[in-house]
Amino acid sequence: MDNIGNLLSDTTFIDRYVIPWGVNIILALVTFVVGRWIAKLVTRGLGHVLARAKIYDTLNRFLSNIAYTGLFVVVVIAALNQLGVDTTSVLAVFAAAGLAVGLALKDSLSNFAAGVMLILYKPFQVGNFIEAAGTAGSVETIGIFNTLLKTPDNREISVPNAHIYGGTIVNVTARAERRIDLVFGIGYDDDVAQAKRLLMELMTSDPRVLAEPEPFVGVVELGDNSVNIAARPWVASGDYWATRCDLMEQVKATFDRNGISIPFPQRDVHLYQAAASASA
């Protein structure tokens, strides 16, 4: 006890150890508190800037969290340095941990980078019907790592963003209008001009078919079994499938009423009877 009392009464010990350590602890606490407040302020400002730039909300939160985490690490290192801790070893530990995490999560980081590019360049948006990564469906959500698609038969498909961005993307509903490509085969004995006229009448009488661009009807091929006539009307993207199905049915009924055949594949076989030999 006497030794402790002597140490406390020794002004040299107080001046050399107590006061410097006390000052360092106070400065470290001030550095930590003020630094964390500045990190939150900067992160909040970054979030507002990204929101004004109309960055996707999920990406906005993700980038803001990354920015805050990075700034918080800097604040902690600054506070430890104020205490006199050797931060070189701390930085080495963070670097090694970051390298290990990066190697372990390289696929996830690839999906993240692809997700950022999809959100920034917007080859498609929520609600579009797309064909990508070997699948097709309506876009439900564009996430940081995966994109969720809903198929026409109401299945949900989660596709990694790297697979989508690294391949061909077909945005079916990106444009307001879409062309229907139909080909009808008629017999070689049928009236081609009449068939073309009937097809044009069917398309122009359908209110869903657009007047501009103008529908097209023309012979595209003289096939092995039929004369193939193309019918190409333009419709609103939302009316594509309904109009296509209705036109197919109406063309069949109209051709039947007017005696125009739709031939099926056939082959003519010619048989030749060889003359019997004299010996037979």
The enclosing domain of 248 has a CATH number of 3.30.70.100
Question: In this structure, is residue 231 part of a structural domain?
Answer: yes
Nearest alpha carbon to residue 111 among 139, 156, 146, 62: 146
For residue 129, what pLDDT is reported?
Answer: 94
- The confidence band for 50, taking pLDDT boundaries of 50, 70 and 90, is confident
Structural domain that includes position 216: 177-257
3-class SS string, the chain: CHHHHHHHHCHHHHHHHHHHHHHHHHHHHHHHHHHHHHHHHHHHHHHHHHHHCCCCHHHHHHHHHHHHHHHHHHHHHHHHHHCCCCHHHHHHHHHHHHHHHHHHCHHHHHHHHHHHHHHHHCCCCCCCEEEECCEEEEEEEECCCEEEEECCCCCEEEEEHHHHHCCCCEECCCCCEEECCEEEEECCCCCHHHHHHHHHHHHHHCCCECCCCCCEEEEEEECCCCEEEEEECEEEHHHHHHHHHHHHHHHHHHHHHCCCCCCCCCCCCCCCCCCCCCCC
Query: Is 135 in the same domain as 70?
Result: no
pLDDT tens digit sequence for 20-42:
677 778 888 888 888 889 888 98
Name the residue type at position 239. Answer: D
Alpha carbon distances (Å) from 1 to 4, 5, 10, 14, 128: 5, 6, 14, 17, 80
Query: Is 15 in the same domain as 94?
Result: yes
Under the phi-then-psi rule, with left for phi > 0, alpha for psi from -120 to 50, and beta for the rest, what region is 124? beta
Residue 169, pLDDT > 90, answer yes
Give the mean pLDDT of 161-176: 92
For residue 260 the two structure tokens come to: 């125009």
The enclosing domain of 26 has a CATH number of 1.10.287.1260
pLDDT tens digit sequence for 52-64:
877 667 667 767 7
Query: Is 12 in the same domain as 99?
Result: yes
For residue 68, what pLDDT is reported?
Answer: 83
Query: Is 249 in the same domain as 183?
Result: yes
Percent of the chain with pLDDT over 70: 81
Query: Is 30 in the same domain as 87?
Result: yes
Question: In this structure, is residue 202 part of a structural domain?
Answer: yes
Distance from C-alpha of 178 to C-alpha of 238, rounded to nearest angstrom: 9
For residue 10, what pLDDT is reported?
Answer: 54
pLDDT tens digit sequence for 172-195:
999 999 999 999 999 999 999 999
Q: Which of 3-7, 128-132, 174-178, 237-241 has the lowest mean pLDDT?
A: 3-7
Residue 105, pLDDT > 60, answer no
Residue 103, pLDDT > 90, answer no
pTM reported for the whole predicted model: 0.63
Query: Is 42 in the same domain as 96?
Result: yes
Backbone angles phi, psi at 136, to 5 degrees: -145, 145
Query: Is 28 in the same domain as 91?
Result: yes
Highest mean pLDDT: which range of 30-34, 81-85, 127-131: 127-131
For residue 14, what pLDDT is reported?
Answer: 60
Q: Which of 104-108, 136-140, 236-240, 268-272 has the lowest mean pLDDT?
A: 104-108
Question: In this structure, is residue 277 part of a structural domain?
Answer: no
Residue 135, pLDDT > 90, answer yes
Distance from C-alpha of 241 to C-alpha of 261, rounded to nearest angstrom: 25
The residues pairing with 229 across neighbouring beta strands, listed in sequence order, are 184, 219
Query: Is 18 in the same domain as 99?
Result: yes
For residue 172, what pLDDT is reported?
Answer: 93
pLDDT tens digit sequence for 261-275:
988 876 777 788 766
For residue 11, what pLDDT is reported?
Answer: 62
Q: What is the total count of domains within the chain?
A: 3
Query: Is 36 in the same domain as 87?
Result: yes
pLDDT tens digit sequence for 248-263:
999 999 999 999 998 8
Distance from C-alpha of 198 to C-alpha of 219, rounded to nearest angstrom: 14
